[in-house]
Structure 1
Amino acid sequence: MQTNPVPTAHVPPGTRWGYAAGSLATGAFTTVPGLLMLPYLTDTMAVPAGAAGLIVLVPKIWDVVFNPVAGRISDGELLARGSRARGLLLGGTLLAVLFGTLFAGPQLGSPGAGAAYVTGVFFLTATAFAFFQVPFNALPAELTADYHERTRLTSTRIALLALAVLLSGALAPLVVEALGGAAGYRLMGVLVAVLMLTGVLSVYFGIRNRPFAPTGQAPRLRELVAALRGWRVFRRLLVVFVLQAMGIGVLLASVNYVARYVLGDPGLQSVLFAGFVGPALVIMPLWARMGRSRGKVAGFQISSLMFGGALAILVFAETMPLALIFALIAVCGAGYAGVQTFPLAILPDLISAEEQRTGETKTGVAAGVWTAAETLGFALGPGIFGLVLSIGGYRSTTESLTAQPPSAVTAVLFGFSLLPAALILAPVPLLRRRVLEGR
């Protein structure tokens, strides 16, 4: 087994920012399919809303099975080579290339054939994402052993994640609207792929010479299942994160439809996104400071309440002044920054404590399970929203805008407010400082 020196507590700026830039890839992949794939299928390819939701979901179900395996492969690379960098680079490059083809499907002459192409390519893209995201999530626990340095590392990552979400989520719809139809989606896919590749190369060159400290032997799959079954604190944090990821996924999927059918202006989609993500960039340092002064769990609780509470009020968006809607969106964005920062800052602490207790390498395994759950949560969001649209009687079309029955508009509004609010707020009682922080 190849070993490297134990990393120091302080992470150099080049390593910290290089690592954080990987969020350009993860943020774009999480955001763009969740934001645009459902309308791409329903309003460009005329795929029924319920079926479109399943198309977004099915490839991610594969990740639930595969991501823990990717975690074990990543652990094996770490133990053999002393670094996860090579696997991260290969997986990330393949991710970018495949994503560039996801929205560039050939004209196959029927919604069914087009849907089959999207499903197949999305399946391969999700697999490549696992090989990038799993080692990427494993890095904080191996770059530093310092409790507060991990919060700093994670907050930098989430700041760039917010930037990636802003760039991809706000600009991608503008590209689609500018060209219109399939041509707009094709160009958008290529541009987002370039953004992803930039993030992949940044994290690779940022961490490739950084010392890592593999410990013990990676457990086999049966040992993994047994270990996670007994790792109660990890399961609790995972449940909270997955439910909130579902809520964010539902919210992302609804934005395109809210702009068109509730607010009556498709151009507001990018403005809504900027209003959501912009405050996240501004408030990120404040969440990091709160994590140091009041604790990560307290910050997690407060940010969840902010996010969910503001979403619940938006159920009245159809009759609200536009200025008030954007004010509430800004509060949502501030809360979103916290619910993304704190679980990822808590996770490395749980991993380190478990590795000290068992003497086994759990980082890649935990990252694989976490990535699988995260991917599934974000995938379930659009799937659930597609089901809500179907129940509301949404009419799919090959046109960008068509008249919808009142029940469909009500379904859009429900998926924009009350449903994601419930998913954000429901797991808050599971957060207990004495459990998650061991205090």
Structure 2
Amino acid sequence: MSTHPLRRIILCYAAPALAAAIPTIPAHILLPSLYGDTLGLGLTLTGILFFIIRLIDMFTDPLVGYASDRMKMRKPWVVAGAFLAGIGIWFLFNPPAAPSGWYLFGWASLLFIGWTMFQVPYLAWGAELSRDYHQRGIISALREGAGLVGILLAGIIPVAMGVNAPLAQTALLGNVTLVAGAIGVLVLALFVPDILRSISARWTIDASASHQQSAFRDRAVWPRENQPVLPKWGIGRLRDGCKGLWQNRLFVRLLVAWLINGLANGLPAVCFPLFIRYGLGLAPADQNVLILLYFAVAVLAMPVWVMLGGRYGRPVIWCWAMVLAIIAFAFVPLLGQGDFAGFAVICVVTGAALGADLALPPAIQADVDDWDRYRFGQARTGLLFALWNMTNKLALALAAGIALPILGMVGLTGQDSGQNGALMPENDTAKLVLVVIYAVLPIVLKIMAVAMMWQFPLGLRHQLALRRRLARRMF
């Protein structure tokens, strides 16, 4: 029986993350303002529609996670989800001149449901590739690093090609996503084994090997006689799968902090194009440069956060990264019209903090999954990551549902702007509300998240002890 080098498998596993991240900028940053402002659908209606779409999408996460756990398959879900998301991207990123609310609702719903079918099993798949603390950090970093490279490409391509019009920019990035996604998903399907099916066939990663030499071995990490007992398949048994989750205080604590920090990140993301145009009076070309700068710094900072997290513990390093973002946001109210340089510095600092937000929390969640297996004796990685993804979507739904309708009600539209896109003097109230939503609320929310995660009791020493206990239980 052949041996598969873990390093090659991890690289192939991370490949689709690059393509999946390319539409992140359009989907989370550009589309709300594109449909609500540029295409004339209205900020209030657009915000409400995105809120409803996200809520519907959110409740598919636990179903997909539970189903992929029970069916013992990740790969078919990932491939099917990528196909559906691709269809949604084509229509959503190439809208007609005057799209209706139903057009946005229908194609955005298909995109986000397909995204769920892809992302939930994909994240769980990564957690199953290794039980080693350091390897998990590497897997998470490579996946999120590939995603950041994809986001970076989404910033580089419009700048390099001189595409500044929002509609042309989203269409270009949508087409690039479809090509890169087809290649990445094909590599994943051909070269990465479906872990749950591999376990049943007695294939696994040798968890007892050192983190430098771990490889897939012809030996099961979960021997048949010691595998956790799972309830039989059935949607009606989803409640049984969730039983005990809310007694897992570490999981609940991390999930609440992730929700709060997700909302703190979602509010500036939704408001970013509006803040560039109406708050600072900058041009679309400046917006593209600032987005590129933001994500370029995040890519460069990510290895540093991973290294620090491996040495001092991921929870405490994540807290310090959030503190860094708090300091940066505190200077936003001091910016004036046309202050490109000042806002660029803020983008550099918050971009550095983003690298920690993307790399560290999923790895902490994988460690919490080990605790859940040990404490409650159930293998429900897919369900845990489904709730994780569901919480992230709730944060994004709240961000769009809070920010856009409020800004629409206070009159933040193109009709209130001057020739260069800056706010007219009489609309100072709208500018103040924009600054509060963009910077002040995220500061308050991140302070709350830091308070939740400070002294989180699952660092390197605790996770190593947990792995030893799980190994004794299994063998």
Q: Could you say whether these structures have the same fold, taking a TM-score greater than 0.5 normalized by the shorter chain as the test?
A: yes
- The residue that corresponds to 1:373 in the other structure is 391
Q: Quick one: which of 186, 195, 203 aligns to 1:201?
A: 186
Q: Quick one: which of 223, 227, 247 aligns to 1:230?
A: 247
Distance 1:218 1:349 in 2: 20
Provide Cα deviations, 1:198-249, integer angstroms capped at 9, x if missing partner. 4433433442366446743545311133222212211111111122122222
Provide Cα deviations, 1:37-72, integer angstroms capped at 9, x if missing partner. 111112232122121111222111012221100011
Provide Cα deviations, 1:291-316, integer angstroms capped at 9, x if missing partner. 12111111111111112221222222
* Deviation, structure 1 residue 321: 4.8
User: What is the number of equivalent residue pairs in this alignment?
Assistant: 424
Distance 2:29 2:85 in 1: 18
**TM-score normalised by the chain length of structure 2:** 0.81
Distance 2:157 2:402 in 1: 25
1:29-108 equivalent positions in 2, closer than 5 A: 29-78=23-72, 83-107=73-97
Q: Quick one: which of 409, 412, 427 aligns to 1:394?
A: 412
- The residue identity in structure 1 corresponding to 2:177 is V
Distance 1:282 1:367 in 2: 26
Work out whether 1:160 is the aligned partner of 2:143: no
Work out whether 1:349 is the aligned partner of 2:367: yes
Q: Which runs of 5+ in 1 are unaligned?
A: none
- The residue that corresponds to 1:326 in the other structure is 344
Distance 2:95 2:351 in 1: 33
Contact 1:32 1:169 survives alignment (8 Å): no
Work out whether 1:428 is the aligned partner of 2:413: no
Range with greater deviation from structure 2 (29-38 or 312-321) = 312-321
Contact 2:36 2:44 survives alignment (8 Å): no
Contact 2:314 2:364 survives alignment (8 Å): yes
1:129-144 equivalent positions in 2, closer than 5 A: 129-144=115-130
- The residue that corresponds to 1:192 in the other structure is 177
Distance 1:394 1:34 in 2: 19
Q: 1:256 to 1:321 in 2, by over 3 A?
A: closer
Q: 1:259 to 1:65 in 2, by over 3 A?
A: same
Contact 2:277 2:422 survives alignment (8 Å): no
Q: Quick one: which of 9, 14, 33 aligns to 1:15?
A: 9
Distance 1:339 1:425 in 2: 14
- The residue identity in structure 1 corresponding to 2:439 is S
Distance 1:57 1:172 in 2: 28
Distance 2:186 2:442 in 1: 34
Contact 2:228 2:378 survives alignment (8 Å): yes
Provide Cα deviations, 1:25-47, integer angstroms capped at 9, x if missing partner. 44234432111111111223212
Distance 2:375 2:275 in 1: 49
Distance 2:327 2:175 in 1: 37
Distance 1:430 1:420 in 2: 15
Q: Secondary structure at the match of 2:429?
A: helix
Contact 1:247 1:424 survives alignment (8 Å): yes
If you compute each CA radius of gyration, which structure gives the higher value, 1 or 2?
A: 2
**TM-score normalised by the chain length of structure 1:** 0.87
Work out whether 1:27 is the aligned partner of 2:49: no
Q: Which runs of 5+ in 2 are unaligned?
A: 205-221, 232-236, 463-475
Provide Cα deviations, 1:378-398, integer angstroms capped at 9, x if missing partner. 23223322033124311256x
- The residue identity in structure 1 corresponding to 2:10 is R
* Deviation, structure 1 residue 288: 1.3
Q: In angstroms, what is the RMSD of aligned CA positions?
A: 2.9
Distance 2:448 2:254 in 1: 13
Range with greater deviation from structure 2 (44-53 or 235-244) = 44-53
Provide Cα deviations, 1:280-339, integer angstroms capped at 9, x if missing partner. 111211111111211111111111111222122222222685333222211111111112
Q: 1:422 to 1:162 in 2, by over 3 A?
A: farther
Q: Secondary structure at the match of 2:131?
A: coil
Provide Cα deviations, 1:107-166, integer angstroms capped at 9, x if missing partner. 5x6xxx612111111111111111101111102321001011101111112211211222
- The residue that corresponds to 1:216 in the other structure is 228
Distance 1:379 1:27 in 2: 18
Q: Which has the higher contact order (CA 8 A, sep 6+)?
A: 1
Contact 1:307 1:335 survives alignment (8 Å): yes
Distance 1:385 1:170 in 2: 27
Range with greater deviation from structure 2 (24-33 or 324-333) = 24-33
- The residue identity in structure 1 corresponding to 2:240 is E
Distance 2:450 2:171 in 1: 40
Contact 2:84 2:110 survives alignment (8 Å): no
* Deviation, structure 1 residue 186: 3.5
Instruction: Name the % identity.
Output: 24
Provide Cα deviations, 1:157-214, integer angstroms capped at 9, x if missing partner. 2211211222224546887x83746555444433333344444334334423664467
Distance 1:21 1:196 in 2: 9
Work out whether 1:255 is the aligned partner of 2:272: yes
